[in-house]
Each structure stands twice: as structure tokens, then as C-alpha cells.
Amino acid sequence: MDRGKISYAWDAAPEVGVPRQVAEGVEWLRLPLPMKLDHVNCWILDEGDDTVTLVDTGFDSARTRSLWAGALGGRRVARVVVTHHHPDHIGLAGWFQAEQGAELMTSRTSWLMGRMLQLDEQARPSPETVAFWRAAGMDPQILAARLEERPFNFADVVAPLPLGYTRLVDEHMVELGGRWWHIHTGDGHAPEHVTLWEEGGDLILGGDQLLASISPNLGVYATEPDADPVAEWMASCEKLLGYATPDKLVLPGHHLPYRGLPTRMVQLIENHQGALLRLEDHLQEPAPASACFQTLFGRRIGAAEYGLALVEAVAHCLHLTHLGRVRREVKDGVWLFSRIEGAGLPLSAGDGDTRP
């Protein structure tokens, strides 16, 4: 099958806070984020009678609320669809529920994770998190600083989520903005991440599952320290590749809308296959996940990226452990990973890299 080349529908994004029409009744709104990935894409679907459905919301902040007020121009938000529970996507969902009576629509896991994390506010890192950081081999200076700092809390950027939501179920359909959409969920970056594929039409709302130019972070955290998000991600990419056609216009959670999804899905798979092969070769001698950054990412990791790089390095080391390619030993509370000679690994090398 001709997978098609990746091509971008626009050369540049719209101005922050200024909606751009991308299809009849569909607008693209870019909102700011205070981090290296400095934006999130949200989508406005016209429901008629001056009402709209939103797909993702950005952080909960005074600036974001103000930008939404200007972008909506008095239109009422009837529904908010959240693709996944990460704060740049769910941040203002609860605010729209409370202020405008909006219906929240998302997957069950996204709602449970978002609500749980929003309620789990901490002034200092938990003992479990500190032990996990040490096990991952976190740099001692970074660890010492983090022990004295308030950790990232969802409550800082996610509005309280009232009880009640409408569940979006994998392989079901939903009507939004005068269109019917197939629901296909994926895992790895976030559990039960929702993607929406227009029935008989051109559009896919891809969230972070279907990005064109970066690979979403696949991280392991203290909440599930033996998780295997890399395996979940690879399986999800294979699943979604089965639905992909090159003509569809993907409206992603970050960067630019694009066509050529089958090619991009193969790239996303090969990206991690290549990373795993490089990592396996690197682990000739026991090493912590924190010693694998250059091998996985091919560049220096700065302070702003360190946390995401660490959890992604742990994820890849653990995936090789789950495959039986690498052993994990514990020394002074640190996980040391090393290659098991002679074990087979059913992977093929890719040219991509994995990016925190």
C-alpha cells in the first residue's frame, strides 16, 4: 500500500488565542504552555445556535481563561471532549463544567486519572517518588534540589473536576459538531487516549497519539514502577496503523496538522525499535537508566527536559527487561540494567530517535 508522504496543510500555526477555520464548522485554537513544548492545540466544533464542543482545553490559568473568552466570542460551551488526562489537555475541563454547565466527555481511565491526580496535592515529593527517582539513578544534585521544592501538582494547573462525565468507549461512535466520529483509543503516552476519526470524511482528531514531528513521551512513574508503556505504545501504533489512510487530515495536540498518517505511524514504531536496539547494545555493563540519555536521545539533556528524559529512559530499560533481553539488579537502592547475552529480540532497527 502507498503510505503517502507526510505533508502539512499549513506552513505555520495561527496566532496564539486566535481561532483559524480548518474545515467547515471546525476551528484550530493554539494556547500557550509555560514549558519547552510551549503550546497545545485545541479544537472548536460548531454545534449551531451559538454553541460549541471543545476538544482539549489547555492549562487552567488566568491567561488561558482570557484567551478562551476571546476565542469563543460569547458562544456557549455545550461539551468538552478530553483526549487524555494530561494537564495541558484536561486543565480547564472542570472549569467549563462548573461555569457553563458543559458536559465532559472522555475515556473512563482519563477521567479517573485526571480526577485522582487533581486531588493528590503535595507540598514535597512523596517517599515513593523519592525512592523511584533514586532507583532510576537521578543526578544527586537534581535530587537534592527536588527534595526541597514543591513538586509538580495537577492542582496547580488543572481546575477541580466535578463529579460526572460521559464515557467515550473504544470502537464506539459519537456525534460531535454535526459529524459522526469513530472512537479509537491508544495507550503508552497516556492510558485509554481517545482519537476520533470522522465517518465518511477527511478529519482525525489525534491528540498526542498521532503527532507528526515529535514522539510523545513514554514514561514510567512511581505510581506504576514496573509498567511497560513502550509495549503499550507499539501495540497501539500497530492497531491505529490498521485504520490509517494517507488522505486523512490529522488535527494533532501539538505542532501542525498533516496528511500521510500511515507513513507517520511506521515512523513512530521504528523510532522506538531503533532506540531499543541502541539501548541493548549500550548496556554491555550494568548501568542506571540515567546513564542512557545520550544513547536514547542522541543529544545533551538539559535541566528543563531531565524529568521527562529520566522516566522515558526507565521505560525503555524496563521494556527490555520485560522482553527478557536485559536483567535488572538493585545496588544501594539503584536499578542497574545490563544486557543478557544470547537472548533474541524480535525488533528491526529504525532511523528515528526518541525525544523527551
Tens digits of residue pLDDT in 14-55: 999 999 999 999 999 999 999 889 999 999 999 999 999 999
DSSP per-residue string spanning 300-347:
---TTTHHHHHHHHHHHHHHHHHTTSEEEEEETTEEEEEE-TT-----
Tens digits of residue pLDDT in 234-273: 999 999 999 999 999 999 999 999 999 999 999 999 999 9
pLDDT at 347: 54
Tens digits of residue pLDDT in 81-109: 999 999 999 999 999 999 999 999 999 99
Alpha-carbon separation of residue 309 from 89, 291, 293, 354 (angstroms): 21, 11, 7, 9
CATH of domain 7-120+152-282: 3.60.15.10
**DSSP character at residue 15:** P
Query: CA 136, 141, 144, 150: dihedral to nearest 10 degrees?
Result: -90
What cell numbers appear for 111 in the block? 477521567
> Residue 344 — very low, low, confident or very high, per pLDDT cuts 50/70/90?
low
pLDDT at 206: 98
